Amino acid sequence: MLKGKKIIIGITASIAAYKIPLLVRLLKKAGAEVKIIITPSAKDFVTPLTLSTLSGNPVLSELFDKQDGSWNSHVELGLWADLFLVAPASANTLSKMAHGAADNLLLTSYLSARSPVFIAPAMDLDMYKHPSTKQNIDLLRSFGHYIIEPTEGELASGLCGAGRMEEPEVMFDIIQDFFKKKTKLSGKKVLVSAGPTFEAIDPVRFIGNHSSGKMGFAIADELASRGAIVTLVSGPVNISSTHAHIKRIDVTTAEQMYDACIANFESMDIGIMAAAIADFTPKNVADRKIKKENATPVIELVSTKDVLKEMGRQKKDNQLLIGFALETNDEVANALKKLHKKNLDLIVLNSLQDPGAGFKHATNQVSLIDRNEHIQAFELKNKDDVARDIVNRIEELI
């Protein structure tokens, strides 16, 4: 699968550079061609001799070769690559990449690259958490680059937290996945919502629902593994996604879900609303815990905004919008009503009448209904397989 694929790895100054020789070995063993560009200060962390031996290519660093005065063409390098990986990416290089600086061979080659770009940040936790680093990462993501998020753990500084560059085996899998599943979804920006929302009654109580988030997370993972750039807006859940380059936005209430989805939908190719968003929220939230000595409270509810309906209203011709319908009766008729009322391209219907379908279960049984009212009914499957069916259908619609 990686046979003959041309991969550039740009290495910057971080202790995590020690992991790159292992990655080079894995890529070479799988048949890829690897060229390495190293920033001058990264040479203190990993030796060019190790890297050139493992990659079978000279390690490049300077714009000009000081020995024979020849020029290392960043344009040729940029065009050569099928994939450009910057790993480890220091805070300094992230900032330069986000703002177009071009003061070394790695950066000029990056600016010339037409291939997909993967970036694996590595730094100390406070540097990683800093708003400027976050902004730079968001900018790089908005260029369509894939961020291989650092993991949590003990850092070289002795501090503990997020900032550890992903392990070489995982980075290898991500690269392999990318080439394996180059599909119509590669590079497509997709917004997925998942999980429940919680609507506060007082500081300790809320109205929620049984959604676990599993269905939405499985869809997000499936999309990401096919090369989509996924933004996952999640209500309060106890699961994490398996894919490193999913951007996750955590929300609690229906209003926050509305704000996050509407703010992001305009720049998306596809929206998939799998979240079980509350339809009603308490009109007033008590600022203190409601005491049982007082009279039994009557909670007045008001309607929340329908996120999907608003997305349907804003939808442009080149966007696809997919909604969910969880029904207990007159399933198809109700789902069709929602499909047309909310201007959807596809609706995923699950019925609480079917055992093993809907909330909480690891399985689900769905029917997919498109704008032409064509119905595709599936058997009961685990949610990962259901996600595959849904994403297959979306690929057909693209």
Question: Of the listed pieces 183-191, 218-226, 232-240, 300-308, which binds ligand CTP according to CB under 6 A?
Answer: 300-308
Residue 365 Cβ vs ligand CTP, minimum distance, rounded to whole Å: 16
Query: Which of 61, 304, 364, 367 lies at the binding interface for ligand CTP (CB under 6 A)?
Result: 304
By CB under 6 A, residue 196 contacts ligand CTP:
no
Alpha helices, DSSP H only, in the chain?
20-29, 48-55, 74-80, 91-99, 105-112, 125-129, 131-142, 168-180, 214-225, 254-265, 307-314, 331-341, 383-397
Q: Which is nearer to ligand CTP, 186 or 376 (CB)?
A: 376
Q: Which is nearer to ligand CTP, 150 or 271 (CB)?
A: 271
334 is catalytic: no
For residue 113, report the phi and psi dihedrals to the nearest 5 degrees: -75, 135
By CB under 6 A, residue 306 contacts ligand CTP:
yes
Q: Which amino acid is at 211?
A: S
Instruction: Measure the CA–CA gap between 373 and 296, rounded to whole angstroms.
Output: 47
Which one from 57, 92, 209, 264 is the annotated catalytic residue? 209
By CB under 6 A, residue 190 contacts ligand CTP:
no
By CB under 6 A, residue 308 contacts ligand CTP:
yes
Write out the two tokens for 372: 């032409």
By CB under 6 A, residue 103 contacts ligand CTP:
no
SS percent in the chain: helix, strand, coil, step 5: 35, 25, 40
By CB under 6 A, residue 307 contacts ligand CTP:
yes
With CB under 6 A as the rule, give the number of residues binding ligand CTP.
14
Q: Which is nearer to ligand CTP, 21 or 271 (CB)?
A: 271
Q: Which is nearer to ligand CTP, 37 or 273 (CB)?
A: 273
Q: Which of residues 265-294 bind ligand CTP (CB under 6 A)?
A: 273, 275, 277, 279
By CB under 6 A, residue 166 contacts ligand CTP:
no
By CB under 6 A, residue 222 contacts ligand CTP:
no
Sign of CA dihedral 371, 221, 259, 250: positive
Cβ–Cβ < 8 Å for 378, 389:
yes
By CB under 6 A, residue 326 contacts ligand CTP:
yes
By CB under 6 A, residue 321 contacts ligand CTP:
no
Q: Which is nearer to ligand CTP, 247 or 338 (CB)?
A: 338
Residue 273 Cβ vs ligand CTP, minimum distance, rounded to whole Å: 4
Q: Which is nearer to ligand CTP, 181 or 309 (CB)?
A: 309
Cβ–Cβ < 8 Å for 21, 34:
no
Q: Which is nearer to ligand CTP, 73 or 209 (CB)?
A: 209
By CB under 6 A, residue 94 contacts ligand CTP:
no
By CB under 6 A, residue 320 contacts ligand CTP:
no
Contacts of 318 (CB under 8 A, 6+ apart): 269
Give me the DSSP letters along 151-205.
EEEE-TTS-EEEEEPPPHHHHHHHHHHHHHT--TTTT-EEEEEESB--EESSSS-
Question: Of the listed pieces 146-154, 162-170, 202-210, 306-314, which binds ligand CTP according to CB under 6 A?
Answer: 306-314
Cβ–Cβ < 8 Å for 200, 181:
no
Cβ–Cβ < 8 Å for 1, 28:
no
Q: Which is nearer to ligand CTP, 15 or 386 (CB)?
A: 386
Residue 183 Cβ vs ligand CTP, minimum distance, rounded to whole Å: 24
Residue 340 Cβ vs ligand CTP, minimum distance, rounded to whole Å: 12
Residue 355 Cβ vs ligand CTP, minimum distance, rounded to whole Å: 19
Q: Which of residues 328-357 bind ligand CTP (CB under 6 A)?
A: 338
Instruction: Measure the CA–CA gap between 5 and 175, rounded to whole angstroms.
Output: 10
Instruction: Measure the CA–CA gap between 285 and 308, rounded to whole angstroms.
Output: 25
Cβ–Cβ < 8 Å for 168, 148:
no
Instruction: Measure the CA–CA gap between 96 and 10, rounded to whole angstroms.
Output: 13
**Count of C-beta atoms within a 10 Å radius of residue 390:** 25
**Which are the catalytic amino acids?**
209
Tell me which residues touch ligand CTP (CB under 6 A): 254, 273, 275, 277, 279, 304, 306-308, 323-326, 338
